[in-house]
Amino acid sequence: MRKPIIAGNWKMNKTAKEAVELIEALKPLVAKAKPEVVVCVPYTDLWAVADAIKGSKIRLGAENVAWADKGAFTGEISAEMLKEIGVEYVIIGHSERRQYFGETDASVNARTKQALANGLKPIVCVGETLEEREKNKTNRVLKKQVLEGLAGITDFTDVVIAYEPVWAIGTGKTATAEDANKTIGFIRRTIKANFGEDVAKALRIQYGGSMNPKNVKELMAERNIDGGLIGGASLKAEDFACIVNYKD
């Protein structure tokens, strides 16, 4: 009943010209996609990509959104600015934002609320570091990120969570399908306990962390995994399309 969602996170890659080339290569390859397909691209690529995806199955996402409407927030981009371009999804709280740019659960919460208030669909990222995992703190860390990041949200219809173990991002190391399923199961139980059973049943939770054409089938076969947030492999049309078309 939960429609799978495969989203690319291009991070700080691709100029606008390169972005259009990638989209043009991708379009025919995902023309019959069964899951929802999203590309989250750098701000400078958004207008060009919005134009390039017209008439295709590909939906547009950004990689962050400001928590304020407008004003003195140098370097930030507002929800209204994104909406005007046709952005539908927005990644919030990616581990690289948390690690390098001081993003906290409180700022994730503020950005998520701002996205929802403006009709954007947040992909809220959570995940433990290797150190936290080795100290058996995974569940404690995830519970805090989920509860604080989503505090005060009452309508989860448009919310997506991406479980991304930090040690698996860009490293080539993937959580085993079984492990990812178990941890996402824990996130779902946390959602159920705090936001109710209906929310937990309907909420889409992606896995992210070195998902690729080789491991996608195994990961997506797991009951709790509703899609993927894909970094490196989303930068090659063939690889991303293979992931999108994992069922074929």
Q: Pick from 190, 210, 224, 245: which binds ligand PEP (CB under 6 A)?
A: 210
Assigned token pair, 111:
């950005």
**Beta strands of the chain (E only): which ranges?**
5-9, 36-40, 58-62, 89-92, 121-126, 160-163, 204-208, 227-230
The region of 28-36, 114-122, 153-161, 223-231 touching ligand PEP under the rule CB under 6 A is 223-231
Asked if 208 is part of the footprint of ligand PEP (rule: CB under 6 A), the reply reads: yes
Nearest-angstrom CA–CA distance, 150 and 228: 20
Yes or no: say if 172 and 184 are a contact pair by the CB < 8 Å rule. Answer: no
From candidates 9, 183, 206, 224, binder to ligand PEP by CB under 6 A: 9
Q: Which of 52, 166, 229, 241 binds ligand PEP (CB under 6 A)?
A: 229
Interaction between residue 164 and ligand PEP (CB under 6 A): yes
Amino acid sitting at position 165: P
Among the listed residues 211, 242, 243, 244, the single contact to ligand PEP using CB under 6 A: 211
Using the rule CB under 6 A, is 93 a contact of ligand PEP? no
Half-sphere exposure of 217 (CA within 13 A, CB side): 7
123 DSSP β-pair partners: 91, 160
Verify binding: residue 28, ligand PEP, rule CB under 6 A.
no
* Ramachandran sector of residue 136 (left: φ over 0; alpha: ψ -120 to 50; beta: rest): left
Place of tokens 């959602």: 191
Distance of closest approach, residue 33 Cβ to ligand PEP, in angstroms? 18
Helices (H) and strands (E) in the chain — how many of each? 11, 8
Query: Please, what is the minimum distance in Å from the beta carbon of residue 68 to ligand PEP?
Result: 25
- Nearest of 140, 146, 90, 94 to residue 117 by alpha carbon: 90
- Our finding on whether 231 is near ligand PEP (CB under 6 A) is yes
206 part of the interface to ligand PEP, by CB under 6 A: no
Of 23-31, 127-135, 182-190, 228-236, which segment contacts ligand PEP by CB under 6 A? Answer: 228-236
The residue from 148, 170, 198, 214 that contacts ligand PEP (CB under 6 A) is 170
Our finding on whether 126 is near ligand PEP (CB under 6 A) is: no
CB 26 within 8 A of CB 5: no
Q: Which residues are catalytic?
A: 94, 164
CB of 172 to ligand PEP, least distance (A): 8
Residues of the shown chain interacting with ligand PEP in the complex, contacts defined by CB under 6 A: 9, 164, 169-170, 208-211, 229-233
